[in-house]
Amino acid sequence: MKLRILIVFLISGSFSLLKAQNSPFSSQSGALYGGTGDDLSTFITQNKFGDYFITGKTNSQNNDIVSPRGVYDIWLAKLGRTGQIKWKKNIGSTGDDYPISITSDPAGNVVVLGYGGAKTGDFSSASGSGLWFLKLDSAGNNPSFVYHGGEPGNTGKIVPDQAGGFYILSSRNTANGLVAPVEGTQDMWLIHTNGAGVSIGQKVYGGSGIENAGDLIKKGDFLYILGQSNSSSVNGAVNHGQNDLLWIKTDLSGNAIATQMYGGSLNEIPNSIILGESTFDPFFVLSTSQSSNGDLPGSNSGGFDFWAFGIDESGNISLGTNIYYGTNENETAAGLFYDDSNPSEPLGIVGSTVYTFELGQPAFENAILIRFAPFSIQPDTVFVFGGDLDDFATDFMVNNLGDLVFTGYSESSNGDFSGNHGGKDFWFYQLNYPCPNTINIQGTVVQGNFTRYADQSIQTSSVFQGGGSQMLLTAPFVLMQPGFEVKSGVIFKAEPGACP
């Protein structure tokens, strides 16, 4: 069923984060960063110490932007838990440079996957424009920059391999480097690197058309790749129309094990793939779509709508979770979250949509958070937040305490965002849950740095994995139930205590 429910409140002629009677959040905080130019395309990660790292592209030359290099630079900053800047720097050449993805490693260092538009400045060792691996320590020092070339697009992902190295997903349309394209003019490109960013293995995937990179996750001994393809088929999977979602499961060497294509007769744009729960939906996929047929569960409302669905280990779409949601405007996706330890909010979509808050006034882009009721394709609340100009959500994460963190860029200087420096500014926004009495973490794989507090008890039957990850459960009573397992390399602690 296609859902068109949007719940908003108008407060004193202006608007803010929706304050619904069933809001699960105890507090929120946010900040704008930038200069008088345009500050765009923001991504965020968190290290094991709880610090955030934020990156974007900027052509500003003042305020929070230091030592500009060229047309657009990569801006990288370290933030405290509430968004205060600890350090900041520009990385780039005299050309157009931009970030593609960001992550942290088990030591707490920050790693950016980026594009360098010229072989000058920080990218002077390159043979041309192309893909870069950019690693700095937690203090912003000791840079390790490695050029990979390839003329990538502006989408992709970098994730730790949990053994000290990294996996990079990008796309390539030239033959530079170690691997040539498969058949078409552009293919998805997987690079396995050591801890310094040097390639130790590469693979490409595609058909006779064009493939674009989307998202990448590692689970156990497998990689799961999400992208986009207009090829008629890839590895035997058949396209439904124009641009389909392309899903590939590989071993840790990048050898394809299973391939699926999802979509309808029009265009689908990939956003993210995340871990779900182990019984029915081991994975959830988020995209946007124009289609009203094929794998889509209903009719399109206009433009691109959010499409979220569950899949099994072989990539088959779930019979249970298949959500198609939107307005008559274009929706853009920023992230998807699932948390079965919080039964009031197991699945949610984060993105942006055009919305008019007052009849007769211009419509502007605003960030949006959609909470779905448990075991249902119906949202229980939609939160809209921003100011009176355009506000875009471009990335999203669940932090190590389970709170929701958004980044994007904004032209506004009112509503939820104040202090705009001019043009479009980077923004950071955090929604905090209250500390619960009890937590029940069941039927899922927990991966990455993870901390939970409860005033009474925590129960879990989950598998905790991810080499170098730090995981802490604190409550007066912590119960490990059948199915509980801690994989090799995880630093796991369960200790008596309560909410801080």
Render pLDDT for 280-292 as a digit per residue (tens, 0 to 9).
Answer: 788 999 999 999 9
- 442 half-sphere exposure, CB direction, 13 A CA radius: 12
Name the pTM for this structure.
0.90
Please give the C-alpha separations between residue 363 and each of 356, 359, 360, in angstroms, as whole numbers.
4, 10, 9
Please give the C-alpha separations between residue 352 and each of 217, 276, 384, in angstroms, as whole numbers.
24, 23, 9
pLDDT tens digits, residue range 210-229?
Answer: 999 999 999 989 999 999 99
Distance, in Å, from the CA atom of 363 to the CA atom of 356, rounded to the nearest integer, reads 4
Domains and CATH numbers, the chain: 27-436 (2.120.10.10), 439-495 (no CATH)
Distance, in Å, from the CA atom of 59 to the CA atom of 477, rounded to the nearest integer, reads 52
- Residue 44: closest CA among 439, 445, 409, 342: 409
Residues in the chain: 500
- Residue 98: closest CA among 67, 70, 125: 70
Given pLDDT bands bounded at 50, 70 and 90, which one contains residue 16? very low
Largest CA distance in the chain: 60
Q: Tell me, what's the pLDDT at 26? A: 79
Q: Tell me, what's the pLDDT at 98? A: 96
pLDDT tens digits, residue range 351-362?
Answer: 888 765 444 455
Distance, in Å, from the CA atom of 198 to the CA atom of 338, rounded to the nearest integer, reads 33
Stretch 141-151: mean pLDDT: 91
Over 70: is that where the pLDDT of 158 sits? yes
Number of H helices, E strands in the chain: 0, 39
Given pLDDT bands bounded at 50, 70 and 90, which one contains residue 6? very low
- The dihedral of CA 334, 286, 282, 379: what is its sign? positive
Over 80: is that where the pLDDT of 344 sits? no
- Residue 52: closest CA among 427, 318, 424, 388: 427
CB contact at 8 A, 113 and 100: yes
Please give the C-alpha separations between residue 488 and each of 162, 278, 346, in angstroms, as whole numbers.
10, 20, 28
- Residue 81: closest CA among 135, 44, 106: 44
Distance, in Å, from the CA atom of 317 to the CA atom of 313, rounded to the nearest integer, reads 10
pLDDT over 70 percentage in the chain: 89
- Residue 36: closest CA among 55, 62, 66, 57: 62
Residue 141: partners with Cβ closer than 8 Å, 6 or more residues away: none
- Residue 159: closest CA among 145, 170, 172, 149: 170
Over 80: is that where the pLDDT of 71 sits? yes
Start-to-end Cα distance in the chain = 42
Q: 3-state DSSP call for residue 51?
A: coil
CB contact at 8 A, 490 and 448: no
Judged by average pLDDT, the poorest of 301-310, 334-343, 403-412 is 334-343
Given pLDDT bands bounded at 50, 70 and 90, which one contains residue 67? confident
The phi, psi pair for 139, rounded to 5°, reads -90, 0
Distance, in Å, from the CA atom of 83 to the CA atom of 419, rounded to the nearest integer, reads 14
pLDDT tens digits, residue range 306-342?
Answer: 999 999 999 999 877 899 988 888 999 999 988 766 5
